Amino acid sequence: MNRSFSSVSRSWVLALGVSLSLLSGVSMAERAPMPPLPSPSGIDYPKDLSNIPNGTQAQSQPANSPQVGEKFLWNSANSDPYNTVSIPDKEASVLIQRAGQQWRFIRNGVITVYGGWLLALAFFGIAALFIIKGPIKLHAPMSGQKIKRFNGFERFTHWVMAFSFIGLAITGLLILYGKYFAMPLMGGVAYGTFLNICKNIHNYSGPLFTLSVVIFFLLFATRNIPGEGDLTWIKSFGGMFGGKHPPAGFFNFGEKIWFWFGMTFLGLVISASGFVLDMIVPFMEIQYIRGTMQLANIIHSSASILMTTMAMGHIYIGSIGMQGSLDGMKTGYVDGTWAKEHHEIWYNKVNK
């Protein structure tokens, strides 16, 4: 009786999680403006001019008066290639940059919508996992044996990286999604001021995040080299199949993926593109022109959404998702039982 009740309630929670994820994705998709692909010329002019009173435009803009089906005169200015100007800013010679339309479509359409889906699915997936399975518990009681895991500097670096990242993620998501929910609530003027503050927080915490990633990398790279236990971890999907937690070294293979791909690769891609957007790339002559900024923006926002998705999983496992895991980063010490159950190879080395 009990069993069937729990399986029914689990199914309900799962269904609720999936529905909420779908709903949030759909609402995001509905709100995100999806401009139509630009016409081959890059501009869209009205095909049906019957509503325009006869001669209105011809009078006000004699050189720019289209007939039905014809193009505006300024079509000729609508070109990506550079024309000629005598001032140093050569980009001023591109009057209308057609690639900007493509960029707007990718940023406000593809990235906003699919990024929103990814974030919502990750969030509700983790919430469903927590409700259905609950945190990973230790199988034996805490031993009371305290084992040193991280020193003060390592923990300090981790928390600078963590909090700067969280600040960046929140302000970054507001920059991308704020106009869909915060602007209608706050009004344009207040929202503009608020977003300006967000942008400054974002721009100044960026370099701090980059510095902490570099230091964290130097501190932990050797402990993340693939080694003993990793193959078993991969084969059993981190213990998801087979029931038993696979023995791991100081870090397990899942943590190593987070370290190399999540923190190092994505962290550096985000940092490099962020430095371009901030126009502060050192030791290099970069042309901060529209095309460069648009590309940097697309790389920056896609990599950031991916890293935020991964970070959600990491934050969950490092806090409420696993009994005893936060102790190491909080105090520097972990309990012997936790070390034995989650990092047995390391535990055996320490206790030799």
From 45-53, 230-238, 296-304, 311-319, give the range in contact with ligand HEM by CB under 6 A: 311-319
Which 3 state secondary structure label does DSSP give 149? coil
Residue 138 DSSP SS3: coil
Binding to ligand HEM (CB under 6 A) within 317-336 occurs at 318-319, 325-326, 328-329
Shortest Å, Cβ 304 to ligand HEM? 11
Is position 107 an interface residue for ligand HEM (rule: CB under 6 A)? Answer: no
Residue 136: strand pairing partners: 322
Q: Are strands 146-148 and 333-335 parallel, antiparallel or unpaired?
A: antiparallel
Q: Which H helix or E strand runs over 201?
A: helix 188-220
Instruction: Name the minimum Å distance from CB 32 to ligand HEM.
Output: 26
Helix, coil or strand: residue 335: strand
Residue nearest to ligand HEM (CB): 318
Cα gap 233→237, rounded to integer Å: 6
- At 297, the amino acid letter reads N
Contact pick of 101, 210, 255, 304 for ligand HEM (by CB under 6 A): 255
Nearest by Cα to 261 from 298, 311, 208: 311
Binding pattern for the stretch 112-151 against ligand HEM, x by CB under 6 A and - elsewhere:
-------------------------------------x--
Q: Which stretch binds ligand HEM (CB under 6 A): 3-11, 176-184, 187-195, 256-264?
A: 256-264
Phi, psi of 26 (to 5 degrees): -65, -45
Helical H segments across 133-151, by residue range: none
Does position 311 interact with ligand HEM (CB under 6 A)? The reply is yes
> Given the rule CB under 6 A, which of 14-22, 50-58, 225-233, 314-322 is the region that contacts ligand HEM?
314-322
With contacts defined by CB under 6 A, how many residues of the chain interact with ligand HEM?
22
- How far apart CA 65 and CA 308 sit, in angstroms, is 50
Cα–Cα distance measured from residue 257 to residue 312, given in angstroms and rounded to the nearest whole number? 14
Q: Which residues of the shown chain bind ligand HEM in the complex (CB under 6 A)? A: 149, 158, 161-162, 165, 220, 224, 251, 255-256, 258-259, 263, 311, 314-315, 318-319, 325-326, 328-329
